[in-house]
Structure 1
Amino acid sequence: MGNRTPAYMEAARSGELARRARWANSQLQDCTLCPWQCHVNRSAGKVGQCRSGAQARVYAFMAHHGEENPLRGSKGSGTIFFAGCNMHCQFCQNADISQDNRGILVDDQQLAQMMLDLQAQGCHNINLVSPTHVLPQILSALVPAAREGLTLPLVYNTGGYDSLESLQILDGIVDIYLPDMKYTDAAIAQKYSGIPDYPRLNQSAVKEMHRQVGDLQLDEKGLAVRGLLVRHLLLPDDLAGTRELMQFLAAEISTNTYVNIMDQYKPDYHARDFPELFRLVTRAEVRRAKDWAREAGLTRLE
C-alpha cells in the first residue's frame, strides 16, 4: 500500500481543522457531543454523564505494545489515555480511569506536546483512547501539533457510543477508527452499561466510520495507515451477542473488516454483582466466536 499522508494535514493547511476545532469547542457550552445529549455547560465547569469539563484529563501517555498488530508494530502505538468515559460498563477493566476520572488536566498545547513526544519516541500512530467526550480538546490540540510537525496517523479508539454529528466533524481528520462493538441486544446494553440504545447507535456509528475511511489499509511493513478496525470483547455465555455482530459486520460493513475478537475479559469493577458475569470466558467460547466470524464470511481476524 505504501505510506500515506495523514488525513488531518490537508485540513490543517487549509484552515479547516482550526474551524472545526472552534465549532467543537462552542458545543461545550451546551454539550451534545455524544448521544447522551446532556445539555450541560462544560465551559462553566458543569459535568454530564462523562464527568468532564472544559479541559481534557489525561491519565497516561506512552508507547503501547499491547495493541493490535497493525497498530503496535515494532515501536508501539503512541497511546494517550483520557480519563472519563461516556459509558458505565459494570465490568470495566480500567474503571480507575474511566469511572474514577484519575489523571491530570491538560491544556491544548500540553496535549499537542504529548502527541509530538510520542512521535519523537518513534511510535507508529497517535492512539486516542476514550476520545468521544474530549473531541473539542483533541481537535484544538491537533492544530498546534500539526503546525509543529506531527505526521503520524490518528487513531480514534472509542467505546463506540458516538453521535453521527460528532463523527461527521472528524471526516477528513481521523485516519483509523478503532471502535468497540460491545452488544447487539438493547436489554443487555442497558443492564451492563446503562445505555439501552447502544446497539442501534453503535451500528450506525460504525457504518459512518467505514463510510469515511473504508476497510483497514496496511503499508509495506504491515502497519495500519487508514481504515476501520473493530474490537469486540467476548462476554460469558455470549452475552455480547457475538454471532449477530459478526453477521452485521459481514452483511452491512464489509467481509474485509478487520476484527479483533478479544478474549481477555475478566470480572472487574462491579462484575461480582452479576453472577453471570463473574467468570472468565472459556477456550471453547473463543473458538466458537471465531467460527461464527468465519461462517459469516469474515477473514481478517485477530
Structure 2
Amino acid sequence: MNWKKWYRECSLCPRECGVNRLEGRKGFCGQTAALKVARAALHMWEEPCISGTRGSGTVFFTGCHLGCVFCQNGQISRGGSGKEISVLRLAEIFMELQDKGAHNINLVTPTHYVPQIIEALRISRKMGLHLPIVYNTGGFEKIDTLELLDGWIDIYLTDFKFMDLHLSRRYANAEGYAFYASKALEEMYHQTGKPVFDEEGMMQKGIIVRHMVMPGQSMDSRRIINYLYDNYGDNIYISLMNQYTPSGNLEKYPELKEKVKPKVYDRLIDYAIDKGVENAFIQEGETAEESFIPDFDGEGV
C-alpha cells in the first residue's frame, strides 16, 4: 500500500477535512502525516477477555478526530503528547509487545493513521506477529476506511457514545455520530461475525461495544442498549461503563461536573437484563475513583 496518498486530501474520518497532511497541515484530529505514538505497553484495564492475565499490548496514538469535551485522555487526544516514529518502528513495537507476552495488539484512537498502521501490520506479520489485532475506536468511523482494514483487524473494541443527535452535537461537535457509529458497526460485524474465544477465554475475533454512562443521560443509554440488542442480540458484547470522571474545562457544561450515581448505573444494568442482554460486561465498585488512564510518558515508544 502506498500509504502517503491517503494523506494528500485526508478523508479518513467522517470530518473529511481534505487537508494535505503530507505538507504538515492538520485536520480536526490535530495531526499531520507524521506517525505519533504516546505510549506502548501492557495494559490491564480493558475488558477481561482483552486484558486477560498478561495484559493487552496497547498502543496509544496521538490525536483524535472526535474531540469529546469530557475526554479522559486529553493529554494525547488534544494536547499532542507523543513521539514521532516511522512505520518500521511501529512494526517493531508490535513485535516487542508480543515478546512481552501481550494477549493482543490494541490500537487506541487509530483512525487518522490507518494506512500507516496497515503497512506496519504487513511488516510485522512478516516478522512473525501472530496476535489478534484490536481496533479501539470512539465509533465515529467511515465505511471506506474500515474496508481498508478488512483482513487486518480481528476484534473491534468500539464505542457507541450517543444516540441523540443533540448530545453528539453538544459534546463532540458531531451531530451525525449515531449514523456513522451504526453504519460502522454494520461493517465491523460483516468483517468479524460472531465472537470467538480461545481456551483461556480470550477473545480472538468479534466485537465489544462500549457505552460509558453519562450523568443525566440514562434515557439515551437505554436507547443505545435497545439499538444494539435489537440489531445484534448476543452476537456482540456490550460493555456498560460507569467510570465517567469529570475532567477538562467543563464551565460550559455544568451538567457534566457530576459523576454518575450508583443507583442510576444499577438501574441501567437491570434494564439491560430485562431486555434480555446476556453477553455484557459491567463495572463494579468505585471505578470512577480508579485510574484507567496511564501516564503518557513515552513508555515503549
TM alignment of 1:259-278, pairs within 5 A: 259-278=238-257
TM alignment of 1:1-302, pairs within 5 A: 21-22=1-2, 24-238=3-217, 241-302=220-281
How far is the alpha carbon of 1:239 from its aligned partner? 5.8
Task: Indicate the percent of aligned positions where both proteins have the same amino acid.
Answer: 37
- SS of corresponding position for 2:235: coil
Q: What is the one-letter code of the residue matched to 2:211? A: H
Q: Aligned residues, how many?
A: 281
- SS of corresponding position for 1:276: helix
Describe the shift of the 1:261–1:37 C-alpha distance in structure 2 as closer, same or farther (beyond 3 A): same
Post-superposition Cα deviations, 1:50-109, rounded to whole Å, max 9, x if no partner, equal: 111112110001000111100011100000000100011111111011011110011101
Q: 2:121 touches 2:152 (CA, 8 Å); kept in 1?
A: no
Describe the shift of the 1:90–1:288 C-alpha distance in structure 2 as closer, same or farther (beyond 3 A): same
After TM superposition, which residue ranges in structure 1, 4 or more long, deviate above 3 angstroms?
none
TM-score, structure 1 normalization: 0.90
Unpaired runs of at least 5, structure 2: 282-301
Q: 2:206 touches 2:236 (CA, 8 Å); kept in 1?
A: no
Q: What is the one-letter code of the residue matched to 2:195? A: L
Describe the shift of the 1:220–1:280 C-alpha distance in structure 2 as closer, same or farther (beyond 3 A): same
- SS of corresponding position for 1:205: helix
- SS of corresponding position for 1:270: coil
Partners of 1:287 and 1:274 in 2: CA distance: 24
Post-superposition Cα deviations, 1:135-171, rounded to whole Å, max 9, x if no partner, equal: 0110121121111111110000001110000011111
* Structure having the larger proportion of residues in helix: 1
Partners of 2:63 and 2:238 in 1: CA distance: 25
Q: 2:218 touches 2:268 (CA, 8 Å); kept in 1?
A: no
How far is the alpha carbon of 1:240 from its aligned partner? 7.5
Partners of 2:112 and 2:272 in 1: CA distance: 31
- SS of corresponding position for 1:177: strand
Q: What is the one-letter code of the residue matched to 1:301? A: A
Partners of 1:25 and 1:293 in 2: CA distance: 44
Q: 1:131 touches 1:157 (CA, 8 Å); kept in 2?
A: yes
How far is the alpha carbon of 1:211 from its aligned partner? 1.4
How far is the alpha carbon of 1:292 from its aligned partner? 2.1
How far is the alpha carbon of 1:188 from its aligned partner? 0.5
CA-based RMSD: 1.2
- SS of corresponding position for 1:81: strand
How far is the alpha carbon of 1:25 from its aligned partner? 3.3
Unpaired runs of at least 5, structure 1: 1-20
Could you say which residue in structure 1 is the equivalent of 2:293?
Answer: none
- SS of corresponding position for 1:236: coil
- SS of corresponding position for 2:216: helix
TM-score, structure 2 normalization: 0.91
Q: What is the one-letter code of the residue matched to 1:127? A: N
Q: 2:58 touches 2:108 (CA, 8 Å); kept in 1?
A: yes
Q: 1:161 touches 1:201 (CA, 8 Å); kept in 2?
A: yes
